[in-house]
Amino acid sequence: MFQQQTIQNQSIDLPLGKVVCVGRNYADHAKELGNEVPDAPILFIKPSTSVVALEAGFTIPSDQGRVHHEAEIALLISKQTKNISADQSWASISHVGLALDLTLRDVQSKLKDKSHPWEIAKGFDGACPLSKWIPQEKIINRHSIAIQLGKNGELKQNGNSTQMITSIPDLVAYMSNIFTLMPGDVILTGTPAGVGPLEKGDELVGMLDDQFRFESAVL
């Protein structure tokens, strides 16, 4: 039996699986952290235990340095997907949402200096606040999905999937050639520029596709 995926009191009949993520998928964001733009997608995985409901508000670690928000377009995989081509990608995606790829930035910097993997900085419990899911048919134009994040009334991140270095179809195809994607897996597609630190009490507003609004807060 699969455990039902229940996020935001919204029940979707899929297990909550792994969260497959990509780093530096927007050139402006790579630049703001002083990173080179990669020549192939940089993939990493957050465990299912990192997922929490965005709109319920969330807590962040208080004793491990800066915790950065990375607002990202999230995709819900609805069928087993392996070795697909880009033109088959959207057939595997049932829903779209907004996720925060929370990152312990100071911890990550130290890991990077030592060429160690990033999991400690990105895979901790609560590291993936995730909005309720929007059926992909409700997205106005899936080739141009806007994403914004505001913090305490100020717009911090403002991007569009058209700015991705690896597009959503190419990214899902690439991932499926490395990891078998299972129903209930989640894909995070990278963050646009404007990442920054979160603090307890911050009020957040996420916008997806200029029509779906999600309110959240750091508790």
Q: Which residues bind Zn ion (CB under 5 A)?
A: 70, 101, 191
Residue nearest to Zn ion (CB): 101
| Nearest CB to Zn ion, comparing residues 81 and 191 | 191
**Residue 208's beta-bridge partner residues?**
147, 212
Smallest separation (angstroms) from Zn ion to the CB of 71: 9
Smallest separation (angstroms) from Zn ion to the CB of 3: 25
| Nearest CB to Zn ion, comparing residues 55 and 70 | 70
| Nearest CB to Zn ion, comparing residues 88 and 193 | 193
Joined together, the tokens standing for residue 11 give 């029940």
Phi and psi (nearest 5°) for 160? -150, 145
d(CA 109, CA 100): 19
Smallest separation (angstroms) from Zn ion to the CB of 60: 15
**Residues 170-202: b if buried by 16+ CB within 10 A, e if exposed:** ebbbbbbeeeebbbbbbbbbbbbbbbeebeeee
Longest distance between any two alpha carbons in the chain, whole Å:
45
Smallest separation (angstroms) from Zn ion to the CB of 118: 10
d(CA 9, CA 186): 18
| Nearest CB to Zn ion, comparing residues 94 and 191 | 191
Smallest separation (angstroms) from Zn ion to the CB of 191: 5
Residue type, 86: A
| Nearest CB to Zn ion, comparing residues 95 and 105 | 105
